[in-house]
Amino acid sequence: MEEKPYVSVLVPVLNEEESLPELNARLIKVLNEMGKPYEIIYINDGSTDNTPIILERFHNENKNIKVIEFNRNYGQHMALFGGFEYAKGDIIITIDADLQNPPEEIPKLVKKMEEGYEVVGTYRKDRKDSIFRTIPSYIVNKITARLVGVRLRDYGCMLRAYRSDIVEYMKMCPESSSFIPALANTFAKKIAEIEVSHEERKKGRTKYSPIKLLQLNFDLMTNFSLLPIQFIGMVGVGIAGLGILFALYLFVRRLLIGPESEGLFTLFAILFFFIGIQILALGIIGEYVGRIYQEVRRRPRYIIKRELL
């Protein structure tokens, strides 16, 4: 009978043919040195380069390596959800394929989990990303911590560890999009965060542009809280009150001074401000309505094209 793995390592992959050989060799070395049963699950998230061929070779060379291949690109978090369905370990580690988070840090996460924690996050020491990555990431971290209620330094680092029961809870959530680190923290009681090293990307290209990071930030706000739409409601009430006061002011001014054309451009400025607020409100409402539409369609979050188990 096949030995049950103690550690499952999930690696979402999108066009990482250059980094995969080094990543796989380092992962196997680290996990073998730990001396505990393990499995490595690569999730091919619609790669268009030689990634499928490389992953198939890994599987043929090592019985502990499994490969799941999507029919197209669904995104990093959907790839991890796909890996969760196959992970059998008591401790489940997620790590990016770009080698910016060294696989050699995995034993630190396992050791911390063995102290009784349900989720162990990480924050990157001396982060080696550009300011165009760090600023949007900083915004995401602050908003995520506020929405989830768990103040961690770095929600964007994908090198994380989860207990299998926490993963089971996350698998019960059927929404079409979600942010895994935040979702896990809504279920976990004992959460820790440790420091890990960070390296520059030496091979391949990043899949997260600043625009995508800001989109992720907006997804977070609408996925985990009603705060944006509640805030817009309060702003609307405030602006409506100001509008009534301003109308009364203009009415009294008309009675006291009479007709006048002065202040026309001020009125236009105020009008444009109100219109801008209305458009923003409609956009946020539309975002929530769009998410409701996505959920009621009940389309699969991803489709698995091939399995190598």
Q: What is the pLDDT of residue 241?
A: 75
pTM of the full predicted structure?
A: 0.76
Note whether 52 and 45 are within 8 A (CB).
no
Distances (CA, A) of 198 to 99, 104, 127: 9, 11, 6
CATH class in words for 7-208+300-308: alpha beta
Question: Where exactly are the structural domains of the chain?
Answer: 7-208+300-308, 227-297
Residue 248 is encoded by which pair of tokens?
């009364």
Note whether 195 and 120 are within 8 A (CB).
no
Q: What is the pLDDT of residue 261?
A: 59
Q: What is the pLDDT of residue 285?
A: 79
pLDDT in tens, the chain (309 residues): 567 999 999 999 999 999 999 999 999 999 999 999 999 999 999 999 999 999 999 999 999 999 999 999 988 889 999 999 999 999 999 999 989 889 999 999 999 999 999 999 998 887 766 666 666 666 666 666 666 666 777 777 889 999 999 999 999 987 766 778 888 888 999 999 999 988 777 766 665 556 666 666 666 666 666 666 667 777 777 777 777 777 787 778 777 776 665 666 567 667 777 777 777 777 777 777 777 776 777 778 889 999 998
- State which H helix or E strand residue 190 sits in: none
Note whether 197 and 102 are within 8 A (CB).
yes
β-pair type (160-163, 191-197): unpaired
Distance, in Å, from the CA atom of 28 to the CA atom of 37, rounded to the nearest integer, reads 11
